[in-house]
Amino acid sequence: MNSLILPLAIGAPQIILIVVIVLLLFGGRKIPELMRGLGSGIKEFKDASKEDEPEGKPEEDKKRL
């Protein structure tokens, strides 16, 4: 079973390879724009998920969910 998980392990060499590929594809000037867009997307997602929570329940009920 460990032989199935081993290829999916991400270490330092794999991360460096991914960073180099991203730099080659997008260039150094586009990366800050991409990160800003990613950050705003994550913030929007968090805000939307907070809006879906019922506000009338006490804190104990929220912890159980």
pLDDT tens digits, one per residue of 25-44: 888 888 888 889 989 999 99
| pLDDT tops 60 at residue 3 | yes
Domain boundaries, the chain: 24-50
Q: Can you tell me the mean pLDDT for 18-26?
A: 87
Q: What is the pLDDT of residues 46-59, one digit of tens each?
A: 998 887 766 555 55
- Cα of first residue to Cα of last residue in the chain, in angstroms, is 33
pLDDT for 37: 92
In 3D space, the residue among 38, 13, 14 whose CA is nearest the CA of residue 26 turns out to be 38
The Cα–Cα gap between 55 and 62 comes to 9
| Phi and psi at residue 28, to the nearest 5° | -70, -25
pTM of the model: 0.47
DSSP state of 52: T
